[in-house]
Amino acid sequence: MVSIRIFKNMMMRDTTQLWSLMASVTFVWAIFKQWFPEELGTHIENYFRKLGSYFYPYITIVFHEYQPYEFQRSIAYTAIEQYLGANSSNRAKRLKANVIRDGKSVDLSIDDYEDVTDEFQGIKIWWSSRKKIPQQQALFARDDNEKRYYTLTCHRNHRDIITNVYLHHVLDEGKMILIKSRQRKLYTNGNKTSWSHIVFEHPSTFDTLAMDPEKKKDILNDLMTFVKSKDYYKKIGKSWKRGYLLYGPPGTGKSSMIAAMANFLNYDIYDLELTSVNDNTDLKKLLIGTSSKSIIVIEDIDCSLDLTGQRNNKKGEKIRAEKNPDPKKDKKKEKKESEVTLSGLLNFIDGLWSACGSERLIVFTTNHAEKLDPALIRRGRMDKHIEMSYCCYETFKVLAKNYLDLESHELFPSISKLLGETNMTPADVAENLMPKSAEEDAESCLKDLIKALENAKEKARLKAVEENAIDGVPSESGDEHPEDTTDTVESGDSSDEDSSQEDG
């Protein structure tokens, strides 16, 4: 330990001495250079450079905070700042603190003029944090004009490993730390061509999401494989993106699943409201403006986009009809607004989408997968189709655990039976499981649910009787299996067979 410290001090002292010697030689040479013919001057300079590199076996790489003509902070500088903050905070003597996440955590980085060492595969690396202060800075001026930079110094024998391996390691790790510590954002296209955002703090996670455990595991595996597959996508010549189609009746957890995905991957969400986008050009502008590590969501795709290429804006129409009773005006507006087409969206997914940015998920949701054009949801565009279905017993067990802290109860078998006989969405089951007053205990919540399931079953039965009567089919009242829609219970496949599929 002591010997390492002595060596380090020697190294740093030698480095400093050699630097000052080199600086003096450079200065003297700058004075004398003008007296030599140009060609001879270049020869002498090259000779000195070789001689210098013989005596000074170190190389230094500089990372500036701002690159010339760039207004954004350099990504490399920011990543190094994070890396050094995380890896040297117990070795550096002075650190800068930045409070993030509404004061809940502190982000550390090494202070100006601080030197720290790092070790990589047995190689020693010296990092320094420096800044250049403009010569004429007002006494109390802010430090906006100060030019900060990091220098990395290492032995020239290790040049290849440092530049090809170590720097990648530093940048990747720095970026990972940055992603973990940053506040995630939910972007919406309030303006026609730009995004506005708020902090994304949806509490949904894969733990709180109730669905068949096998399906959940499959989705988690798919997401984990995706995030680790940068090199694989490159190898197969595909852009690093993946499309998900979430389909199922309202209240089955499609939006909750998107929030859980974002929380799991630490991604931002871009919630794209197609009905407020003017045309394909604006759509492109918006999509190009998205950043990597994000999920681009288009909810209710069947309501936002008509498959003939014209939009069928149900929500928009309703609002317009209320606001603007003049049908002519309405038509005009409709014409103006109906310029985002299916082909525009497909072109984007296939063309620009593939060419710009990476590490993005695009998620479509719909209540009616059968209405969607097969071209839109074919593999390659929507790679994974996930059905969110009615509450089955497995789903109920997750909800009971989350809402009531119950893993088993004598009423569970009755609930399991009823769930097999009628369709109820997880949203409705969750609502029934939630205590409505401080006095209500877990058992009374389960009883509420049983009552609601029995009501739903009865409603479905009556509806079936009614429909059969209209069709002229005599029906036996009582024990037929209810399969049709009621007010609170949606029709559909209540089977919990895994319908999510994955491309090869």
Ligand X SMILES: Nc1ncnc2c1ncn2[C@@H]1O[C@H](COP(=O)(O)OP(=O)(O)OP(=O)(O)O)[C@@H](O)[C@H]1O
Which residues of the shown chain bind ligand X in the complex (CB under 6 A)?
208-211, 250-256, 367, 388, 426-427, 430
Residue 253's binding partner, choosing from ligand X, Mg ion, none, with beta-carbon cut-off 5 to 8 A by kind? Answer: ligand X
Nearer to Mg ion, 174 or 249 (CB): 249
Nearer to ligand X, 84 or 259 (CB): 259
Nearest CA among 293, 52, 14, 282 for reference residue 180: 293
Residue 256's binding partner, choosing from Mg ion, ligand X, none, with beta-carbon cut-off 5 to 8 A by kind? Answer: ligand X
Residues near 418 by beta carbon (within 8 Å), at least 6 away in sequence? 450, 453, 454, 457
For 24-79, give the secondary structure using H, E and C: HHHHHHHHHHHHCCHHHHHHHHHHHHHHHHHHCCEEEEEEECCCCCCCCCCHHHHH
Nearer to ligand X, 110 or 269 (CB): 269
Nearest approach in angstroms of CB 383 to ligand X is 20
Site size for Mg ion, by CB under 5 A? 2
Residue 255 near Mg ion by CB under 5 A: yes
Nearer to ligand X, 398 or 464 (CB): 398
Q: For residue 125, what is the DSSP state?
A: E
d(CA 473, CA 480): 13
d(CA 268, CA 185): 5
Nearest approach in angstroms of CB 162 to ligand X is 48
Q: For residue 157, what is the DSSP state?
A: G
End-to-end CA distance of the chain: 54
- Under 8 Å between Cβ of 174 and 78: yes
Residue 251's binding partner, choosing from Mg ion, ligand X, none, with beta-carbon cut-off 5 to 8 A by kind? Answer: ligand X
Residue 313's binding partner, choosing from ligand X, Mg ion, none, with beta-carbon cut-off 5 to 8 A by kind? Answer: none
Of all residues in this chain, which one has the CB nearest to ligand X in the complex? 253
Nearest approach in angstroms of CB 434 to Mg ion is 19
Nearest approach in angstroms of CB 251 to ligand X is 5
- Under 8 Å between Cβ of 442 and 409: yes
Tokens at 230, concatenated: 């940068």
Residue 367's binding partner, choosing from Mg ion, ligand X, none, with beta-carbon cut-off 5 to 8 A by kind? Answer: ligand X
Nearer to ligand X, 167 or 392 (CB): 392
* Coil vs helix vs strand at 489: coil
Largest CA distance in the chain: 115
Residue 250's binding partner, choosing from ligand X, Mg ion, none, with beta-carbon cut-off 5 to 8 A by kind? Answer: ligand X
x/- string (CB under 5 A) for Mg ion, residues 106-135?
------------------------------
x/- string (CB under 5 A) for Mg ion, residues 215-234?
--------------------
d(CA 144, CA 235): 43
Residue 243's binding partner, choosing from ligand X, Mg ion, none, with beta-carbon cut-off 5 to 8 A by kind? Answer: none
CA distances from 183 to 144, 263, 269, 360 (A): 24, 11, 12, 18
Nearer to ligand X, 287 or 297 (CB): 297
Nearest approach in angstroms of CB 414 to Mg ion is 30
Nearest approach in angstroms of CB 452 to ligand X is 14
Strand pairing class (196-199; 185-188): antiparallel
Nearer to Mg ion, 252 or 422 (CB): 252
Nearer to ligand X, 109 or 255 (CB): 255
The residues binding Mg ion (CB under 5 A) are 254-255
